[in-house]
Structures are given as structure tokens and as C-alpha cells.
Amino acid sequence: MSFELIRNYRSGGTNGSLRYGSEKICHTIELPWKDNQPFFSCIPEGRYLLEKRITHERGFHLILKSVPGRSWILIHPANDARTELEGCIAPVSELTGIGKGINSRDALEKLLEIFEEAQEKQNHIYITIKEKSAINILERVKKPTPKLFRKLRTIGLVLAAAGGAILGAPITLPAGLITVAGYLTVGASVLTAVSQVTVDNEVKIPPLPEVKNKGDASPR
């Protein structure tokens, strides 16, 4: 079992959700993706070895090993990716915007507790980073459908029923009407299917004040 970071990319920053197995640990914030440029970009997606370390400046935190083209990529406290990160990952308890969150130190403490529990069960611990759109189709179907697409799904079901009723009518109908009914049924089926697998990717931003931690600038 490994940690999993699911990212949601935006031009102003990268928000994410950090999990261990089926347990959601916290949110994350990072810099936007800028072709892996040191100091300006989040790191590439992939699977990385995760280790715990301690320094006088940061105390206990985590480090990702063997990141392509980067060094000293840490998971450490920060509440604003733009001003406090240079490529690292910051856990936050709640998101307040794109690349922004609050209560980062509390989130890190929770993460470290789970990491220590994982260490008791396995020698090497990894984190897999991937984009939210990479969620498989079964996971999408299980997720809530946005309000607009719920309405479209309902319309699709109604149209499909109407087309089916015309095609199954016990009386002879004009050929043109039969053709229209066929197109109607196919189109309605596509509309329903697309609506069903559409999920809401927007970040829910709570009306909370932004709190910044001092002295949490990332080294890389």
C-alpha cells in the first residue's frame, strides 16, 4: 500500500488530495506545472520513495527521493504555494483558494502519524502522484454528478424513452418519423452516458481567512 496524491492543476497553482489506501489524510497545495522548472514548477507525476527526516529548521517532515531533474523535494508546512514553496508539497487541512490553504502544520502532524504507522508494516513507503482526470471510469460513475448534468441526464432518459416508444409502436408510422426516433434514441443514450460520468472538479472554497506560516520557504 502506498500514499496517493491526486492533483487538480490550475494556472495559478496545484491543489490536491492526499490519501493512504482508502483514507483521505488532507489536502495539498503546490506550484503550478511549468515543465518541471526548478523553483517555479511542481514536480512530475510518478511514483517516488518517501522517507522521514528531521532538521533544526523544519523539525520532522518527509522527503521524496529520486525526483527527475529536482532535488530536496519535501513535504513540509506552508499555506501559500506562490510565496512559500519552490517545488515542494505542502499539506493543508482546508483549501482557501488555488495553491492556498490553512492549518498546514496540523495536516503535517496527521500525515506523519499515518506515515509512522505505515513504517511498522513495510520497509519502503512510496507516494504515487497523478492527475485527477486519471481516475478510472468506474470511480467516475460512483462520484456525484454536477447539477447541470443531472438535468441533462434526466432529459436524455426522457428522450430515450420517447424514441423507444415510437420505435416500438404497434401501428405503422411514417418512415421519416421512424428515422427521427432512431436518431433521438441514439443521441439520448449518448447524452445520458456522458452526463453520468461527468464529475465536479471545481474546488469548494470555504469563506475562511488566509493564515500564513512564517519561515517555511522550500529549498528547491
State residue 147's pLDDT score. Answer: 67
What is the pairing mode between strands 125-131 and 46-55?
antiparallel
Residues 110 and 149 in one domain: no
d(CA 16, CA 14): 7
pLDDT value of residue 212: 40
Determine which helix (DSSP H) or strand (DSSP E) holds 8, and give its type and residue range.
strand 3-10
Position 134 scores a pLDDT of 56
Provide the residue-wise pLDDT of the chain in tens; the chain has 220 residues. Answer: 899 999 999 999 999 999 999 999 999 999 999 999 999 999 999 999 999 999 999 999 999 999 999 999 999 999 999 999 999 999 999 999 999 999 999 999 999 999 999 999 998 999 999 998 755 555 555 556 666 666 766 776 776 676 666 656 666 656 665 576 576 566 656 656 655 555 554 444 444 344 344 444 445 6
Q: What is the DSSP string of 126-163?
A: EEEEEEGGGS-HHHHHHSPPPHHHHHHHHHHHHHHHHH
Would you say residue 165 lies in a domain?
yes
What cell does 119 get?
A: 513504517
| CATH classification at residue 87 | 2.40.440
12 in any annotated domain? yes
Does residue 29 share a domain with residue 67? yes
> What's the pLDDT at 154?
78
- Walk across the sheet containing 13-20 and list its strands: 73-75, 59-65, 46-55, 125-131, 3-10, 13-20, 23-30, 90-92
**Which pLDDT value is given to residue 130?**
96
In a domain, 47, yes or no: yes
**Total domains present in the chain:** 2
Q: Measured between alpha carbons, how far is 130 from 5 in angstroms, rounded to an integer?
A: 6
State whether 119 and 10 are in the same domain: yes
Do 101 and 156 lie in one domain? The reply is no
* 3 φ/ψ angles, rounded to the nearest 5 degrees: -75, 150
pLDDT of residue 177: 59
Q: With respect to residue 59, please indicate whether it lies within any of the assigned structural domains.
A: yes
Q: What domain range includes position 51?
A: 3-135
Q: Is residue 213 included in any domain, yes or no? A: no
* Statement to judge: residues 66 and 119 lie in one domain: yes
